[in-house]
């Protein structure tokens, strides 16, 4: 029973993820040619284990999967949904409003295949800032998704990486990346803005076979602001040193009523200097 909880037979799970990421860190540490190491992948939905965790997305307590939440917990009316779109066939089914098959079989697409479909999660829904009549809160209007937690006190990035990279696409609304780290202040959350132009403007044709292009958003750790209970702390502690990463999530709380749509394909820890991600060519694993 314990073994199945640690290593679910359907794939995914916190231990597999922790082992995979720490193997990347160990392999990078053995590289003596580069002082600043190349990227490591934290989540990639082309990886069957990460895809399996996305399929387990839940609106309640999870068993290793992604978590979906919104302001229903405080009497609000915002609602969000999350779907894994792993293949071009699934993408076409999604657009037709049909049930997805979650087919994860087959070889991973080649990095050099320009026409390969990029698996991603689609998070969408409606933001509503109205407050329920029986609610005791003063403000409402948020939706969020959170990746499975890294176990064993998180992933120790130390001071080896200075930014997170999100391969995503947005509808032009301001989304917020939220991370927690191992620290003496367990209630603190660090937040950074994903504020870019719409990746696909209304009316643009999206190729069903490739699923369309993605944007690459780099958030340096030093740009994250520390918050507690949803508000910025008066005294800020910048993430410019060692980071032991525990959780990563995305939140929409821009105060604008209406529909939203956010696609996420990959998250990496990177070294970012002078507008460039260093060490792109020394990646030794697709995930």
What one-character-per-residue DSSP string does 181-237 give? ESSS-TTEEEEEEE----SS-TT----TTT----EEEEEEGGGPEEEETTEE-SS--
% of the chain with per-residue pLDDT over 70: 80
Is the pTM higher than 0.95? The answer reads: no
Contact 182, 154 (CB under 8 A): yes
Closest CA to 21 of 43, 4, 47, 52: 43
**Which residue intervals of the chain are DSSP H helices?**
2-6, 14-29, 48-55, 88-96
Residue 119 to residue 48: CA distance in whole angstroms: 10
- Rounding to the nearest 10 degrees, give the CA dihedral for residues 125, 105, 248, 195: -50
What's the pLDDT score for residue 265?
96
pLDDT tens per residue, range 97-150:
888 876 555 444 444 444 589 999 999 999 999 987 766 667 789 999 999 999
Local structure of 108: helix, strand or coil: coil
Please compute the mean of the pLDDT values over residues 40-68 and round it to a whole number. Answer: 86
Q: Which residues contact 32 (CB under 8 A, 6 or more apart)?
A: none
Closest CA to 120 of 242, 237, 264: 264
């Amino acid at each position: 029973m314990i073994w199945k909880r640690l290593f679910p037979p359907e794939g995914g799970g916190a231990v597999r993820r922790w082992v995979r990421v720490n193997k990347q860190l160990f392999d990078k540490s053995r590289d003596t040619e580069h002082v600043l190491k190349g990227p490591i992948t934290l989540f990639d939905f082309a990886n069957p284990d990460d895809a399996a965790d996305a399929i387990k997305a839940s609106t309640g307590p999870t068993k290793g999967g992604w978590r979906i939440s919104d302001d229903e917990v405080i009497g609000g009316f915002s609602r969000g949904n999350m779907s894994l779109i792993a293949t071009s066939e699934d993408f076409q089914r999604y657009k037709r409003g049909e049930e997805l098959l979650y087919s994860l079989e087959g070889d991973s697409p080649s990095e050099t295949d320009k026409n390969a479909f990029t698996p991603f999660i689609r998070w969408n829904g409606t933001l509503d800032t109205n407050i329920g009549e029986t609610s005791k809160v003063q403000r409402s209007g948020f939706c969020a998704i959170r990746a499975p937690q890294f176990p064993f006190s998180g992933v120790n990035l130390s001071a080896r990486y200075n930014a997170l990279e999100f391969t995503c696409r947005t509808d032009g609304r301001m989304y917020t990346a939220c991370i927690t780290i191992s620290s003496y202040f367990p209630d603190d959350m660090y937040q950074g803005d994903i504020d870019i132009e719409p990746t696909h403007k209304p009316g643009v044709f999206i190729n069903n076979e490739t699923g369309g292009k993605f944007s690459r958003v780099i958030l340096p750790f030093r740009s994250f602001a520390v918050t507690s209970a949803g508000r910025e702390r008066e005294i800020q502690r910048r993430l410019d040193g060692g980071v032991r990463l525990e959780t990563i999530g995305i939140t929409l709380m821009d105060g604008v009523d209406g529909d939203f749509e956010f696609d996420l394909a990959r998250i990496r820890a990177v070294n970012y200097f002078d507008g460039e991600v260093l060490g792109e060519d020394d990646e030794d694993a697709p995930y």
